[in-house]
Structure 1
Amino acid sequence: MDFTPTEAQTEARDLAARIFGDLATHDRLKAAGTGSDPELWKALCAAGLVAAAEELGLLGLVLLLEEQGRTTAQVPYAASCVYGVLALTAHGSAEQRGRLLPAVEDGSAVVAGAFPAQTGVRASARGELTGTVPVVPWLRDATHVLVADAGRQLWLVPLGEGTGIEEVELTAPWSAGRLTLEGAWAEPLGPGTGAYTDVLATARTAFAGLQAGVCAGSLVRAVAHTNTREQFGRPLANRQAVQLRAADAHMDTEAIRVTAYEAAWRRDAGLPYATHALTAAWWASEAGHRVVHTGQHLHGGAGADLDHPVHRHFLWGRQLDAYLGCGAEVLQELGELIANGE
């Protein structure tokens, strides 16, 4: 395995870091409230960073999502790249790719994902969907939503006639909504359950990469704070207990990063990666939980301030923990896959 980024991946990552760093500032994030930042989304699309997901592959996308996570930038970047660009590239027909990809890649269309599969969604023989998905992240920003029915067939649903959206607030400001389908027209994406399995594993890997960035950003803030905050005439960072706590958080963050890199590399190489995606999801859930708590704890009382930047990392880390699934659930699924020889 070689996780060294290509020249194109490095250039895209550096460009993403500049855009997120310049536009996802604390003041702009506060102004966005619980919604998205449309100007930041336009900047990312204009720079070609949504379209880049098709060429850079999943490993390249993970690198870019780390940069989003470092700043907790409020845009549907992960969702539209995973459930839109990569899903269409891998499982769309030539006609679907030609018709849908240009709009998704230039940002005029945004795809959210109703994942994991919702057993309450049913498809008719004519491709009309009925059912309810309680929570879909970034749904309020979306023009389309990728839905898996009870049989795990993927359907791409244009939001409009037959669909209803009710605003839902999550732990993190992810513009989520409750999706109601009442005979909504949809088009199938990919044959059978193989497409669903691949998109789910891709999503787990990508959101694990996002969590690596969230944790790295939290830790950077904690290190800066403990190096400048003094107690009894000495920086907090000089205390062994603080150093050990930060070191543990660093190791946890690296574990999230390397497992996400491995799963992404395997997908790009055409190797089986479902168990590796679950491993990355487990580390992102369990270790991510620890890291963002550490980041907040090392800030002392300031970390509990709802307006403090580190608190946003805490909220994102907890939301990703919930989205990826609790550790016990992920381990059970991983154990079943291994036992079945998958």
Structure 2
Amino acid sequence: MDFTPTQDQVAAADLAARIFGDLSTPERLAAAGTGTDPELWKALGSAGLPGAVEETGLLGLVLMLEEQGRTTAQVPFAASCVYGLLAVARHGTSEQRDRLLPGLRDGTEVATGAFPARAGVRVDGAETGETGSDGGTGRLTGVVPWVPWLRDASWVLVAAADRGLWRVRTADAGCDAVELTAPWSAGRLVLDGAPAERIGGPGAYDDILAMARTAFAGLQAGVCEGSLARAVEYTNEREQFGRPLAAKQGVQLRSADAYMDTEAIRVTAYEAAWRRDEGLPCAGHVLTAAWWASEAGRRVVHAGQHLHGGMGADLEHPVHRHFLWGRQLDAYLGCGGELLAELGDLIAGGEGSGTEEAGATWAARK
């Protein structure tokens, strides 16, 4: 395996780092509240970063999401790229790609996803499209308790009870604001016969869920690195009895553990993304990355806040955002125990969950 990024991936990550670093200051984040920072989102679209994901692949997206996580930038970058751009590019029909991708590439359209599949979401009056299971229409009924970035999205990719994927315009569905642990612009999705179009066929759900888990693991790696960086800076500046807190062995050990956990999240996310881009079996690697993002991510953001002492309890302190994001991400798309159960079932049944077949289908289309 070779995780060395390509020149295009490095260039995209460097550009993302500059944009996030310049525009995701604590002051701007505070002003954004739970909504998207429109200036930042416009800058990302103008720079072509959402569209670049088609060329840089999932590993390139993971690298860019690390940069977002370091600053906890208030934009739906991960959701729109995974549930929108990559979902349509890999599983949409030719007509759907021509119609939907331009807006997703430049950021004028924002997508999100109602994942994982919900037992209460049913499809009525489904009609098959020209390509069989792709591109059909139907009407969705059901409720999804919360969907990240729903209030900023143009449309949502809904995973129905049968794991079929349906694109629903937010204008055709009900959206009630909900508060999450992280300050994301989330909403409760209410579907009452909402018109929908099918995206993809068999295997699409597993493939997109795997991409989402990998992408959000990359985001968690950045969140953890940002939290740890703030803790290191604080403990080197804060003195107690004439010595920096960082000189104390207990602080050093806690920081070292957090560093190792962060690196574990990063390397497993890189491996899962690289294998997915190369068309190699990756189902177990995705679950491993998601498990590290959940379990280790929670430990790291707790350590980052704890190492700030009393300052870490200040809700206005920047490290508290990392804590909130880390806790939100540790349970999104499956908490640690659920992921281990899935991994155990996968190992018991043999490697493979349909994602490799879906990847081969996408490669053939390209």
Q: How does the TM-score come out when normalised to structure 1?
A: 0.98
CA RMSD of aligned residues (A): 0.7
Deviation of 1:35 (Å): 1.6
Partner secondary structure for residue 52 of structure 1: helix
Give yes or no for the alignment of 1:233 onto 2:242: yes
Q: Conserved in 2, the CA contact under 8 Å of 1:226 and 1:298?
A: yes
Give, as a single letter, the amino acid of the residue that structure 2 aligns with 1:16: A
Q: Which of the numbers 246, 257, 266 marks the counterpart of 1:248?
A: 257
Separation in structure 1 between the aligned mates of residue 89 and residue 182 of structure 2, nearest angstrom: 29
Q: Which of the numbers 168, 173, 193 marks the counterpart of 1:157?
A: 168
Give yes or no for the alignment of 1:181 onto 2:168: no
Question: Equivalent residue for 2:53?
Answer: 53
Q: Which of the numbers 303, 314, 326 marks the counterpart of 2:323?
A: 314
Give, as a single letter, the amino acid of the residue that structure 2 aligns with 1:96: Q
- How many residues end up aligned between the 2 structures? 340
Deviations 1:210-233 (A, max 9, x none): 000000000000000011100000
Partner secondary structure for residue 191 of structure 1: coil
Give yes or no for the alignment of 1:209 onto 2:243: no
Deviation of 1:275 (Å): 1.3
Give, as a single letter, the amino acid of the residue that structure 2 aligns with 1:91: H
Q: How does the TM-score come out when normalised to structure 2?
A: 0.92
Q: Conserved in 1, the CA contact under 8 Å of 2:115 and 2:333?
A: no
Runs ≥4 in structure 1, deviation > 6 angstroms?
none
Question: Equivalent residue for 1:136?
Answer: 147
Give yes or no for the alignment of 1:167 onto 2:177: yes
Separation in structure 1 between the aligned mates of residue 286 and residue 182 of structure 2, nearest angstrom: 23
Q: How does 1:103-114 map to 2 (within 5 A)?
A: 103-114=103-114
Q: Percent identity?
A: 74
Separation in structure 2 between the aligned mates of residue 83 and residue 272 of structure 1, nearest angstrom: 21
Deviations 1:242-296 (A, max 9, x none): 1110000000000000000000001100112111111001000000000000000
Separation in structure 2 between the aligned mates of residue 124 and residue 212 of structure 1, nearest angstrom: 40
Give yes or no for the alignment of 1:333 onto 2:349: no
Question: Equivalent residue for 1:305?
Answer: 314
Separation in structure 1 between the aligned mates of residue 255 and residue 167 of structure 2, nearest angstrom: 43
Point out where structure 1 has 5 or more consecutive residues left out of the alignment: none
Separation in structure 2 between the aligned mates of residue 325 and residue 83 of structure 1, nearest angstrom: 17
Question: Equivalent residue for 1:277?
Answer: 286
Partner secondary structure for residue 160 of structure 1: helix
Give, as a single letter, the amino acid of the residue that structure 2 aligns with 1:74: Q
Question: Equivalent residue for 1:146?
Answer: 157
Q: Conserved in 2, the CA contact under 8 Å of 1:132 and 1:181?
A: yes
Deviation of 1:106 (Å): 1.0
Stretch deviating more after TM superposition (103-112 or 136-145): 103-112
Question: Equivalent residue for 2:12?
Answer: 12
Separation in structure 1 between the aligned mates of residue 34 and residue 113 of structure 2, nearest angstrom: 19
Q: Conserved in 2, the CA contact under 8 Å of 1:285 and 1:324?
A: no
Point out where structure 2 has 5 or more consecutive residues left out of the alignment: 127-137, 352-366
Give, as a single letter, the amino acid of the residue that structure 1 aligns with 2:288: T
Stretch deviating more after TM superposition (324-333 or 71-80): 324-333
Give, as a single letter, the amino acid of the residue that structure 1 aligns with 2:225: A
Deviation of 1:322 (Å): 1.8
Give, as a single letter, the amino acid of the residue that structure 1 aligns with 2:97: R
Give, as a single letter, the amino acid of the residue that structure 2 aligns with 1:53: V
Separation in structure 2 between the aligned mates of residue 230 and residue 44 of structure 1, nearest angstrom: 39
